[in-house]
Chain A
């Protein structure tokens, strides 16, 4: 694997190999600190995300790499330099990988076509967030072992969610069924052709779910009239305590963070017995180590 631009197009065996490596890293793979010794990994974050950036940074350090952090603030991007200019200039400093977070869908694809080093997509616009999907799958696999016969329900703003897209590709590739649920205005066309079942009736599908992922609701979607109010969203699509009661007893509850407690997820559910949200966070670094190891090899 030369780049990790998305989950789409990855074979099941490739995903499983990444998860296997993550498992090794989670147990502290003894030789890992030499993998990228003396190498440099560059973080290019054109959009703020301390969590993802820090997680990649920790993963790179654990592999023995130096990390260069480039953020939007004060960068030449604000002076009118194009994305490609920026990427090429940073590439000239000799990193083995560029980790890119960008507001525009497809930005890492553009860069990957024009640089020689590896490119890792750390979230592009509303397209994909592959390392998040891998850590979600990793969390589920550690609980379940296998995905066959499992149903994962993803709730919320599917239209604008890169997490939803990456998870859809990842989970279906691994053999799970994926149900996407949200208001019709936030369910874009063609999701079925990507392998999902699509519905706006949360209460109908809730009892089938073996895992439920709540997506973060962006407040600006309300002003764009995708839904009337956060209150109404919460009433129709929020994972509240009453709904959590109707989950299968062993069902898992997930959230990519950061959470709007009380909107898409009730505090009691986020901290309740179904929740594996903290495990997700803990697994991030191991998965990203595996990703860096594979693309830099």
Chain B
């Protein structure tokens, strides 16, 4: 049982939205933050007291881009197992992509996933609806109904909307709901049959390359459409320098564009494919060193708003095959924090900025509650042990899938506790399901 009153004592509170970084006591009552104080708070008699000394107390992480695979591919992941992986990774909220089977292009699927999420009772699960029916890129899905059912954005993620006219109207139509349109930017005529970044490594391995222009050309197109429609565009998994440059410039001109980058794209280069390691196969592909550096710079300077994992579970059957037959994607929820902190230690961005990218940035991009720790905010809190070193062991993931290129990697910084709405949902390597 969780008491309704919790006092997190003497942790280092980092709340980028309010410029807080220092030792504070945080009092949580009835699921919201009741007090944040530099001076010690007298523990109320009914409070559970948590000693957070030497730990970081952060706004709960929000992942704008996860694939929970339910309905349809429950063997890879379910809303429950995905929620477990999320809270184990410090995520208090995730946005589930609509490319399930069937596709979330209707209220029925939205309601179904929401019910599964309530049943799991771990993190908050927000839904993304499809832009087009069945992700076919032909007819717009019922956006109004999806919004009414609770979808927080629309996207055909996994696929681009190749039809520019349709994309323009989707952006236009979404303005009446002030809804972000999330885009997987890939010109299919440029990516073709490509399976990895086009560069020296693809040449050496004899694999068909995907040039950066496949992404950049679509970012350019959609920014042009955004400017005309004055809608909201969210660019998913930005992978290369050209996209970063265009997004930076569009933001400077005041367009309502937000963007996300994944830990694998700011950590690994195309060389990680090694000798045909299918765990390094994803879309967009791992890019060149120059692209990685550009993405890191964009994380630091605010061009990119959010770190999103693009958590994409796959089974052994999808990965233990020839490279050109393997499916795209990596699981990411349980390694995101460690990889982000590695980038911080390497000097790519500040700790405050990193926390902002995991919490405040994504909350603002989609207008979600949380992402900060002011009084009255939902008590979604991630407590981190910053100095604990650990080794990624995919066999011990909470996720039902193990497809990660980071198995065996040493990381520093681990999630100690995850609180959602004032309820402890993860502690010391254990998830706390409400039923148990």
Contact = CB atoms under 8 A, between A and B. Distances in A.
Interface string A68-95: 0000000000000011100000000000
A110 interface: yes
Interface string B184-213: 000000000000001111111111110000
B322 A188 contact: no
A193 B324 CA distance: 24
Contacts of B322: 83, 102, 104, 106-107, 110
A38 to B, nearest CB: 33
Nearest to B324: A104
Contacts of B324: 104-105, 125
Contacts of A66: none
A210 interface: no
Contacts of B290: none
A78 to B, nearest CB: 15
A194 B206 contact: no
Given A83-B321, A107-B322, A190-B199, A165 B276 contact: no
B321 A127 contact: no
Given A82-B320, A110-B321, A105 B205 contact: yes
A176 B151 CA distance: 62
Contacts of A107: 322
A162 interface: yes
A234 B180 CA distance: 52
Contacts of B203: 188-191, 194
Contact of B198 (A105, A127, A188): A188
A208 interface: no
Contact of A84 (B201, B206, B320): B320
A109 interface: yes
Nearest to B317: A82
A126 interface: yes
A188 B205 contact: no
Contacts of B209: 188-189
A8 interface: yes
A106 B201 CA distance: 13
A124 interface: yes
A102 to B, nearest CB: 7
Nearest to A82: B321
A10 to B, nearest CB: 14
Contacts of A190: 199-204
B275 interface: yes
B325 interface: yes
Interface string A94-129: 000000001011110110000000000000111110
Contacts of B201: 190
Interface in A159-207: 162, 165, 188-191, 193-194
Nearest to A127: B206
Q: Which of A84, A110, A127 has the most CB of B within 10 A?
A: A110
A106 B200 contact: no
Contact of B200 (A83, A109, A193): A193
Q: What bracket does the count of chain A residues touching chain B fall in? A: 20 to 34
B419 interface: no
B323 interface: yes
Interface residues of B, number: 21
Contact of A105 (B200, B276, B320, B321): B276
A128 B275 CA distance: 13
- The residue in B206, B207, B320 that gathers the most chain A C-beta atoms within 10 A of its C-beta is B206
A128 B206 contact: yes
A165 B203 CA distance: 9
Given A109-B275, A110-B322, A165-B206, A189 B317 contact: no
Contact of A194 (B198, B204, B207): B204
A110 B325 CA distance: 12
Given A82-B317, A189-B198, A189-B199, A8 B323 contact: no
Contacts of B202: 188, 190
Interface in A121-171: 124-128, 162, 165
Nearest to B275: A109
B380 to A, nearest CB: 43
A234 B209 CA distance: 26
Nearest to A107: B322
A106 to B, nearest CB: 3
Interface string B313-344: 00001001111110000000000000000000
Contact of B323 (A105, A128, A162, A188): A105
A29 B71 CA distance: 65
A112 B207 CA distance: 19
A194 B204 CA distance: 8
Contacts of B200: 189-190, 193-194
A124 B204 contact: no
B244 to A, nearest CB: 20
Contacts of B317: 82
B205 A127 contact: yes
Interface string A278-294: 00000000000000000
A8 B275 CA distance: 11
Contact of B206 (A82, A162, A193): A162
Interface in B151-186: none
B206 A105 contact: yes
B204 A8 contact: yes
Contacts of A110: 276, 320-323
A215 B276 CA distance: 25
Interface string A44-86: 0000000000000000000000000000000000000011100
Nearest to B195: A105
B250 to A, nearest CB: 28
B205 A106 contact: yes
A106 B323 CA distance: 7
Contacts of B323: 104-106, 110
B419 to A, nearest CB: 43
A189 B320 CA distance: 28
Given A106-B322, A193-B200, A194-B204, 15 more contacts: A102-B322, A104-B322, A104-B323, A104-B324, A105-B324, A106-B206, A106-B207, A107-B322, A109-B276, A124-B206, A125-B207, A125-B324, A127-B205, A190-B202, A191-B203
16 contacts: A82-B321, A83-B321, A84-B321, A102-B322, A105-B206, A106-B206, A106-B276, A109-B275, A110-B323, A124-B206, A128-B206, A188-B209, A190-B201, A190-B202, A190-B204, A194-B203
Interface of A: 8, 82-84, 102, 104-107, 109-110, 124-128, 162, 165, 188-191, 193-194
